[in-house]
Amino acid sequence: MSQNIIYEPKDFDRYHVLKPTFGFWLLVAIQLRAILIAVVSITFPDDRAFFLGFTYPDSTSFIFQALIAIPATTLCIALARRTENGRDFSAWVWKRGKLLLLLGCVADTVGILLQASMNQWLFEWITAVLLLLNFWLAVYMIRSRRMRDVFRDWPEFSSKKD
């Protein structure tokens, strides 16, 4: 039995394209965590390096996580450009957003596993939570019809100005 999903008006933004879901924003936040932590560390006037060192034991881990954030950052920029003034490159990036986020999930999982191996596979709650979140959000991205429709949707405007 096939199910037809009918979206409600609240599911669309002012440009009449589907809004990203909570799962999208959670996955983006997880992939942008290195940049978010760097921004938060700026608010510590006394010892910025302590906060970064608390979360990332060495600078290589931080740099690797910051590189993982590039696809998610690019996708956020494309989302911001999802307007009547959006450019072709932004549309191209947005249409491939699902692939970018899934590649980010794989790279993030590899980074987490490398970090765990450097810690001699000692159990840490944050590692377990991040691995589970990456797994479930990747499954969500693959299986969700809504996310497929969100990434297919790009505003189209006529070139005529009235």
Could you read off the pLDDT of 99-145 as tens digits, one per residue? Answer: 999 999 999 888 888 888 877 887 778 788 889 999 998 999 899 88
Residue 147, domain member (yes or no) = yes
Residue 159 lies in a domain: no
Q: Which domain holds residue 26?
A: 15-152
Which tens digits make up the pLDDT trace of 44-92? 777 766 666 666 767 777 788 888 889 999 998 888 887 766 678 888 8
Backbone angles phi, psi at 9, to 5 degrees: -60, -30
How many angstroms separate the CA atoms of 22 and 16, rounded?
18
5 in a structural domain: no
The answer to whether position 20 is within a domain reads: yes
Task: Name the H helices within the chain.
Answer: 22-31, 33-42, 48-55, 59-80, 88-95, 97-118, 125-143, 145-152
pLDDT tens for each residue of 119-129: 788 777 878 88
**What DSSP state is assigned to residue 18?**
B
Whether 6 is in a domain gets the answer no
Instruction: Decide if 161 is inside a domain.
Output: no
- Give the count of domains, the chain: 1
Q: How far apart are CA 81 and CA 90, in angstroms?
A: 6
38 in any annotated domain = yes
Q: Does residue 59 fall inside a structural domain?
A: yes
